[in-house]
């Protein structure tokens, strides 16, 4: 009896959380012209149409680029910072930690607006560069946090031993530390990638002619038409994220790091 109640609660909660996603998959597979569930017959036409919409293709490439290179940049900044915060006695370590983590606290829309007003317009920086900076800043806190937690699990006497045995500090890092925190770095990359790719508010104000991230482009498309193509695209993107996370989980037990 108690078990039955448990499963009923879990079932209802999961229906609420996942049901809408299943509806999207089917709404996108409609054979009809309008968004409906249950769909008017099944077909893959909207799933295929998504690939022929030029603006979606452009914004997909932009979002991909931002997610990959923004996250890489955040790791390049974040790994040394996490290492220094973990292994060195730094004056003002708490301040540095707060500064680096600050992008997580401030709503993205404000960051986007601030960068538009005080970087893009006065300094004549292109929107693409500003987007890249914004996405890097956004991912930085995750990069530092995830890499820090895997550094915490790595005993520092291993590096000290390497240095005693004749390695330089840098060699100790590349030969001993880096191979051991590989999983954490990869987990940080995936988390950063998914965060950046799905991010909307930061990019709201940072768009220009031909420069729009994919979620923003989808929002704009939805304002014009309610056809099933956005549902189809949403489903495809969701499958992409899930595939990435699933592979990561299989390869390295991703959820340990998040």
Partner 1 sequence: MFSNTREGLALALPAAIFALLLFILPVGILLSEAFQSDAGWTLSGYTDFFSKPLNQTVFLRTLKLGVLVAGTAAVIGYAAAFSISNLSPVARGRVFGLVILPLMISPVARTYAWIVILGRTGIVNDALVGLGLAETPIRLLFTETAVFLGLLQLFMPLMIISLLSAMENIPRDVIPAARVLGANWFQVFFRVILPLTKEGLVVGGTLVFTGALTAYITPAILGGSKVLMLETLLYQQVNVSNDFVSASVIAMILIIMSFTANLLLKRIATARK
Q: Which of residues 224-243 bind partner 1 (CB under 8 A)?
A: 226, 230-231, 234-235, 237-238, 241-242
* Cα-based distances in Å from 16 to 13, 19, 122, 230: 5, 6, 46, 21
What φ, ψ does residue 108 adopt, rounded to 5°?
A: -55, -35
Among positions 31, 61, 99, 220, the unique one binding partner 1 when judged by CB under 8 A: 99
Minimum CB–partner distance for residue 249 and partner 1 (Å): 8
Q: Quote the tokens at residue 109.
A: 């829309």
Minimum CB–partner distance for residue 183 and partner 1 (Å): 18
State yes or no: residue 17 binds partner 1 (CB under 8 A).
Answer: yes
Q: Are 148 and 88 in contact (CB under 8 A)?
A: no
Is the link from the previous residue into 38 a cis peptide, with omega within 30 of 0? yes
Among positions 42, 48, 110, 220, the unique one binding partner 1 when judged by CB under 8 A: 110
The per-residue DSSP string of 177-236 comes to IHHHSHHHHHHHHHHHHHHHHH--HHHHSS-BTTB--HHHHHHHHHHH---THHHHHHHH
Contact mark string toward partner 1, 53..92, x via CB under 8 A: ------------------------xx-xx-xxx-xxxxx-
Nearer Cβ to partner 1 (20/208): 20
Count residues contacting partner 1 (CB under 8 A)?
81
State yes or no: residue 187 binds partner 1 (CB under 8 A).
Answer: no
Minimum CB–partner distance for residue 205 and partner 1 (Å): 7
Among positions 49, 53, 58, 201, the unique one binding partner 1 when judged by CB under 8 A: 201
State yes or no: residue 6 binds partner 1 (CB under 8 A).
Answer: yes
Class of residue 222 by CB neighbours under 10 A (exposed 0-12, middle 13-18, buried 19+): middle
């Amino acid at each position: 009896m108690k078990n039955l109640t448990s499963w009923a609660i879990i079932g209802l909660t999961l229906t609420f959380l996942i049901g809408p996603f299943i509806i999207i998959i089917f709404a996108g597979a409609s054979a009809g012209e309008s968004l409906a569930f249950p769909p008017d017959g099944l077909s893959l036409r909207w799933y295929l149409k998504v690939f022929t919409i030029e603006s979606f293709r452009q914004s997909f490439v932009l979002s991909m680029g931002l997610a990959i290179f923004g996250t890489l940049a955040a790791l390049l900044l974040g790994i040394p910072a996490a290492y220094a915060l973990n292994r060195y006695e730094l004056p003002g370590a708490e301040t540095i930690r707060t500064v680096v983590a600050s992008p997580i606290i401030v709503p993205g829309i404000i960051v986007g607006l601030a960068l538009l007003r005080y970087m893009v317009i006065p300094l004549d920086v292109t929107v693409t560069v500003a987007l890249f900076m914004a996405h890097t800043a956004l991912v930085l806190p995750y990069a530092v946090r995830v890499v820090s937690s895997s550094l915490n699990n790595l005993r520092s006497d291993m590096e000290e031993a390497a240095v005693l045995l004749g390695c330089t500090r840098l060699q100790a890092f590349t030969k001993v530390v880096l191979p051991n925190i590989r999983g954490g770095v990869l987990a940080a990359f995936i988390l950063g990638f998914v965060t950046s790719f799905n991010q909307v508010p930061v990019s709201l104000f940072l768009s220009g002619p031909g420069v729009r991230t994919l979620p923003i482009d989808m929002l704009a498309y939805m304002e014009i038409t309610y056809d099933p193509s956005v549902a189809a695209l949403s489903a495809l993107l969701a499958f992409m994220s899930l595939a990435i996370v699933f592979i990561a989980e299989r390869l390295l037990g991703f959820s340990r790091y998040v």
